Amino acid sequence: MLPIDLSGKRAFVAGVADDGGFGFAIAKAMVTAGATVCLGTWPPAMGIFEKLLERGKMDESLTLPDGKRMTFEKIYPLDAAFDTMEDVPPEIRESKRYKDRGDYSIAGVRDALRADFGDNGLDIVVHSLANGPDVKKPLVQTSRSGYLEALSVSTYSKIAFVRELGPMMRPGGSFLSLTYMASERVIPGYGGGMSSAKAALESDTRTLAFEAGREWGVRVNTISAGPYASRAASAIGFIDTMIQYTEANAPLHRRLEAEDVGRTAAFLASPLAAAITGSVIFVDNGYHVMGMAAG
């Protein structure tokens, strides 16, 4: 037996606000493999998420294979659009959905993690974040502000995570992010600069793998997942069509499950993947190899 063993490791998974997406599935796989998990949650969604957890509305999703209930070590407010609180506009800072959440910037989460777990308290960081306000617009109609926001939240925040959390990682640590095939092929309707953001994310993964590997001895990879009907992905507007087309034309004629991505993430974070860094790992039933429709 060659198990995925994350015992004694601590993961920080950023971008979880419900139990329906890849971020939650990754967190669950990490816990199943023995890790403890902290979450970073967008402040406007944090209250609802906490209430669902408290009221037992997610108990079924939180049930682990051994029958125990998954718990999170801590949930931190995080808006990855802001490196520090000085970057937060007054109208957001004073909003009722933000004002009582403390420091929800990337630097704030760094400081909170350090205060809670020390200078070397992390082994795994998962970047499960993406946002493009113009995602329903064709690229040619995307505003400058919409394009830059897509890159800021979906891509630059990973650079900030590596910079701020890299020094806190124990040797052999792992950074993971989520990308999509629109980085290299045209997906009509996947607009707003999100395809550009994913392409940049993959390029940055390679450069960060070199820089973070030499500086802190940690690895940096990204998972290119097939389309999945999470709440966030549904904002695209045609996710069901994407899923049906991919299922019809992928080499493996099966539905992609969030658990497929979760298990891959657990493997990449484990010592079994000690020599894998700077890589884009496809988890899409093989669809990325196809050059034309299967017919």
Catalytic member of 190, 228, 245, 287: 190
pLDDT band at 234, cuts 50/70/90?
A: low
Q: Could you report the per-residue pLDDT of 136-149, keeping only the tens digit for each?
A: 999 999 999 999 99
Q: Is residue 4 in some structural domain?
A: no
pLDDT in tens, 89-111: 999 999 999 989 999 999 999 99
Residue 86 φ then ψ, to 5°? -65, -20
Residue 54 pLDDT: 92
Q: How confident is the model at residue 242 (pLDDT cuts 50, 70, 90)?
A: confident
Query: Cα separation of 281 and 261, whole Å?
Result: 10
pLDDT at 40: 98
Q: Active-site residue 190, yes or no?
A: yes
Is 290 a domain residue?
no
Does residue 208 fall inside a structural domain?
yes
pLDDT of residue 228: 86
Is 180 assigned a catalytic role?
yes
Sign of CA dihedral 205, 33, 167, 148: positive
d(CA 135, CA 142): 8
Confidence of residue 1 (pLDDT cuts 50, 70, 90): confident
Residue 257, in any domain of the structure: yes
Query: Of the residues 76, 104, 156, 180, which is catalytic?
Result: 180
- Yes or no: say if 227 and 242 are a contact pair by the CB < 8 Å rule: yes
* CATH number, domain containing residue 62: 3.40.50.720
- Say if 154 falls within a structural domain: yes
Q: What is the mean pLDDT of the chain?
A: 94
- Assess if residue 137 is contained within a domain: yes
Is it the case that residue 231 has pLDDT exceeding 70? no
Residue 124, domain extent: 10-285
Q: What is the mean pLDDT of residues 5-25?
A: 96
Question: Does residue 144 form part of some domain?
Answer: yes
Report the domain count for the chain: 1
Domain assignment present for 292: no
Residue 76 backbone class (left: φ over 0; alpha: ψ -120 to 50; beta: rest): beta
